[in-house]
Amino acid sequence: MVPLHIGYLAGTTLPQNLERILPPDRYVLTPVEHFDEGTNLDCLLVFDGKIPDLEIPIVVIGEEQLECKTAQVHPQDLEKLPSTIDATIASFLDQIDRDQTIIDQQHRLSEKLKERLGYLGVYYKRNADQFLRAMSPEERSAYLAKLAETYKMIALEYFKESPDRLNQKIDEFASMAFLADVSVSQVLEIHINLMDQLSKQLRIQGHKDEILLDYRITLIDVIAHLCEMYRRSILPKGGNL
């Protein structure tokens, strides 16, 4: 998983235990000379200072209770900082321009999650307004068609692609399905419909369709990815992964 780049204003005295709380394999602490340099960061930490007007996730560490909705962690509760950072980033990614179509919103969000947060980004919150059942019939049909096309690409290249590229495509499909609350039975239906199409093509060409049985492993692989995301959507006691 790609580590998150967490910025803070250069010259700030950081708590001594911060590196223990934010392990470097997951969080890279990056000093910036000015807050406007933070646009390439994944999140910005502000220590008892003025909150900058930037379009990036911000977490304030301080004792004074803020009136705004900016995420805040008390200095005595720094153990909560990792989960607060992840939740803040996930919430930020969810704030997408409402003028976009639902399909565009889902695609943009899944791409960002896939790129940076992996499963963590969708761990905290999904938008029920973007679930499949909340879409109009036209949007639902278009979304399922896009899912089916992505699945077809995975199946046809399953035994050809490099593992990294294949996993990226499977993650993309699983993220799209998860964010829209697509059920496993609907994924199974997509698989069956594709196998029916391929079977007809093979028979027309005079070939046997037994080879399609090999694609059961494709279905198992995809469903395993999706089930893992649904499993991680249930917060355990204590809120820890």
Query: d(Cα 122, Cα 114) in Å, to the nearest integer?
Result: 10
> In this predicted model, what pLDDT tens digit does every residue of 132-153 receive, in sequence order?
999 999 999 999 999 999 999 8
Strand order in the sheet with 71-73: 27-32, 4-9, 43-47, 58-61, 71-73
CB 7 within 8 A of CB 41: yes
Query: d(Cα 39, Cα 74) in Å, to the nearest integer?
Result: 25
CB 58 within 8 A of CB 43: yes
Both 15 and 120 in one domain: the answer is: no
The residue with greater pLDDT, 227 or 185, is 185
pLDDT confidence of residue 16: 81
> In this predicted model, what pLDDT tens digit does every residue of 208-240 receive, in sequence order?
777 788 888 888 888 887 887 777 666 555 544
Q: Which of 11-20, 61-70, 74-83 has the highest mean pLDDT?
A: 74-83
Both 117 and 208 in one domain: the answer is: yes
The residue with greater pLDDT, 15 or 50, is 15
Query: d(Cα 147, Cα 182) in Å, to the nearest integer?
Result: 10
Residue 237 domain-assigned? Answer: no
We report the CATH number of the domain holding residue 192 as 1.10.1240.30
pLDDT confidence of residue 147: 92
Both 70 and 11 in one domain: the answer is: yes
| Domain stops at, among 94, 120, 155 | 94
The residue with greater pLDDT, 157 or 95, is 157
Both 26 and 70 in one domain: the answer is: yes
**Confidence grade of residue 111 (pLDDT, cut at 50, 70, 90):** low
Both 70 and 128 in one domain: the answer is: no
Query: d(Cα 166, Cα 159) in Å, to the nearest integer?
Result: 9
> DSSP letter at 65?
P
pTM value? Answer: 0.49
pLDDT confidence of residue 95: 58
